[in-house]
Each structure stands twice: as structure tokens, then as C-alpha cells.
């Protein structure tokens, strides 16, 4: 008989399901993602550090696990699905999702009403939760859980240099706050030699590398906690072309005196519509974030993109300073590649355009 497992929310709500993945209790921040595919990329995106992820799509695991599609280190605290596929069918499949979760020490639960769970989050906002095999009487561990020092847990320890694919046209410093591998791939395909550096690398150290531009990566946690990093980005601003994505977008805005706020339940999935305020198009984008920049709060920052659903800030331009940033993921793995042209824009800035 299949083992029972429980998802316990910090308000005492309990969802009973069945166990898969690792067999250890786990507490985290409960969030949901609306992607219909890309669960491999979700499970290996460092931006999910400290979070229990709910998949809204009802069946997960049908094409198995493909390690070539990993975006980074698995940092999720738990995984919640309605159904998981025990017999994946894909010529690239290496093993199933249950084996992946066990190997990474991630607790999972299935056979739960994920629609009801998501409704709870949408009505109340992001909350804490625990995955466990028996319901605790004391909920204080769940209620007191906080994600802290997230970037420090996911950044790499030492600089690593990646050669360009084809002719080398640029040298780029990628500040790693939990960078997805796809960002690195997009840069390399455009002739960039990439120096991937730890999050706390100083502005002076970066400038001494003789780079042509700086990429600020995605990453987890509250952006305002990273005061030392924000200061170093501020010292780079105006001296060298800068492109920020997701957390990098938020940190760049904070370095210009901007403000960030925590969203009620965030934007996570590959179907987020974004309006281009400097053009006439609406793009479908991939996103994974729980915080947003307060529009017009950053000094010299001009709003360039907004979310078509809730009108939150999705991008900022810094005219005359060779810097811009977006909240969404133009590398989009998984997701649409509508906005990959932004990497070409970054290369244009390094060319002096």
C-alpha cells in the first residue's frame, strides 16, 4: 500500500496525499508555477532555493529526466504534483522523476488537489508549508521558517572561465547570484568569453578582468538583503555596459536608489504576458520571481516593460548609461524565446551602439 504524506500549511490546513521522492520531512516557502512543461528546468533552477514548488499542470514526469537540460543545482525544498508519470516515454530520458528527487534528497507528494492548493496561495498569498509523514501538533517550525542568505548558498565559490562558441568577440563578467546555465549558453553563442564570478566579487576585481560588459544573473531570495552586492553594482554603473535579468534586474534598480516589494504570490511559469512600452508588442515570457521593482523608483531608470496582467515593472532602461534590465527570462528555458533579442541588444552596447 502506498505511503501517506501530508502537506501542512502554516495556517493549519492539511492536504493528504501519497509519498514519492526522498523520505524526510521538509519545510519551505510554498509557491506555484504554471508551466505545462519544463519541470526539469524548474527543479534545477537555483532561484527556487528554499521553496516547495507546486506544479499546476496535472501530470508531471511524462518525458523523464534529462541531465543535459539541467539549469543548475537542485535547490527546492519540496515538490507537489497531482500525478507523476512512472513510465516516461522519451528517447532522451535517463531516469524518472522519483529517482531524481530521491537522489537530490527532495521530498515529494502526489495525489493531492493542486488546484485547491493554488487557490489557497492566490487568496492568502505565499505561505510556509511542511511536507511530512505525520501532522505536527506544533506549527511554530512552519510559521517561523524564513529564507535568508539565499544568494550565498547558490553562488559558485571561485571564478570559472567559459570560452565562446566560435569567434570570440566579447569578454563578459557574469555575476553569479544563482545563474541559470541557459544565460551562459546564450552569451557564448554570441561570441562571448564568459568569466563567471562569485556574487561578492568587487567592482574593482571585475574591472581588472578587462571585460567588455557585465551580466547580472537571476537568483533567489529577498533582493534588498544583498546590500554589499548592491553597493558593488552601483560602483560599476555608468562605467561598463550592464544587463540584468530577474534578481539582477532588482539589484541594479536597488543600486540606483530604487525599491522592491514582495508580490502576493509572484510570477512563475512560461506564459506571462509582458508589454513593451518602448515599442508596440506584447511578448509571452518565462518568469520565476516573488519580488518586483517599484516602477519609477530607480534614479535615471525609465520603465520599458510592464506585466500585462498586474502592470508591475518588468524592465528598466538607463538612457545614456549603457545599462538595462528585465524581470523576465529572455533565455527562457523552459519557455518561449520571444525576447532572446535582448542578448543581441547587450552585445550592441558592448560594440558601442
* Residues with a known catalytic role: 246, 329, 331
Q: How does strand 4-9 pair with strand 78-80?
A: unpaired
Q: Residue 289 forms beta bridges with which residues?
A: 267
Amino acid at each position: 500500500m502506498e505511503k501517506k504524506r501530508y502537506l501542512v500549511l502554516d495556517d493549519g490546513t492539511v492536504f493528504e496525499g501519497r509519498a514519492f521522492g526522498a523520505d524526510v520531512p521538509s519545510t519551505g516557502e510554498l509557491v506555484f508555477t504554471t508551466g505545462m512543461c519544463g519541470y526539469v528546468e524548474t527543479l534545477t533552477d537555483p532561484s527556487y532555493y528554499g521553496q516547495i514548488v507546486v506544479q499546476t499542470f496535472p501530470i508531471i514526469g511524462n518525458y523523464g529526466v534529462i541531465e543535459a537540460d539541467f539549469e543548475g543545482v537542485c535547490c527546492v525544498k519540496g515538490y507537489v504534483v497531482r500525478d507523476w508519470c512512472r513510465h516516461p516515454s522519451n528517447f532522451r530520458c535517463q531516469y524518472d522523476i522519483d529517482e531524481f528527487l530521491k537522489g537530490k534528497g527532495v521530498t515529494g507528494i502526489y495525489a493531492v488537489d493542486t488546484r485547491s492548493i493554488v487557490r489557497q496561495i492566490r487568496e492568502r498569498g505565499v505561505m510556509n508549508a511542511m511536507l511530512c509523514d505525520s501532522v505536527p501538533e506544533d506549527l511554530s517550525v512552519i510559521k517561523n521558517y524564513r529564507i535568508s542568505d539565499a544568494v550565498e548558498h547558490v553562488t559558485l565559490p571561485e571564478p570559472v572561465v567559459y570560452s565562446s562558441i566560435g569567434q570570440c568577440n566579447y569578454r563578459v563578467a557574469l555575476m553569479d547570484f544563482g545563474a541559470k546555465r541557459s544565460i551562459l549558453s546564450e552569451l557564448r553563442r554570441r561570441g562571448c568569453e564568459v568569466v563567471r564570478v562569485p556574487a561578492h566579487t568587487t567592482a574593482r576585481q571585475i574591472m581588472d578582468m578587462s571585460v567588455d560588459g557585465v551580466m547580472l544573473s537571476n537568483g533567489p531570495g529577498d533582493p534588498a538583503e544583498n546590500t554589499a552586492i548592491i553597493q558593488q553594482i552601483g560602483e560599476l554603473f555608468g562605467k561598463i555596459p550592464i544587463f540584468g535579468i530577474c534578481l539582477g534586474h532588482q539589484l541594479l534598480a536597488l543600486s540606483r536608489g530604487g525599491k522592491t516589494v514582495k508580490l502576493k504570490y509572484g510570477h512563475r511559469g512560461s506564459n506571462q504576458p509582458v508589454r513593451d512600452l518602448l515599442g508596440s508588442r506584447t511578448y509571452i515570457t518565462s518568469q520565476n520571481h516573488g519580488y518586483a521593482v517599484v516602477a519609477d523608483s530607480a534614479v535615471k531608470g525609465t520603465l520599458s516593460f510592464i506585466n500585462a496582467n498586474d502592470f508591475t515593472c518588468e524592465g528598466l532602461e538607463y538612457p545614456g548609461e549603457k545599462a538595462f534590465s528585465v524581470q523576465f527570462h529572455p533565455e527562457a528555458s523552459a519557455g518561449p524565446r520571444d525576447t532572446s533579442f535582448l542578448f543581441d541588444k547587450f552585445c550592441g552596447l558592448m560594440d558601442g551602439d
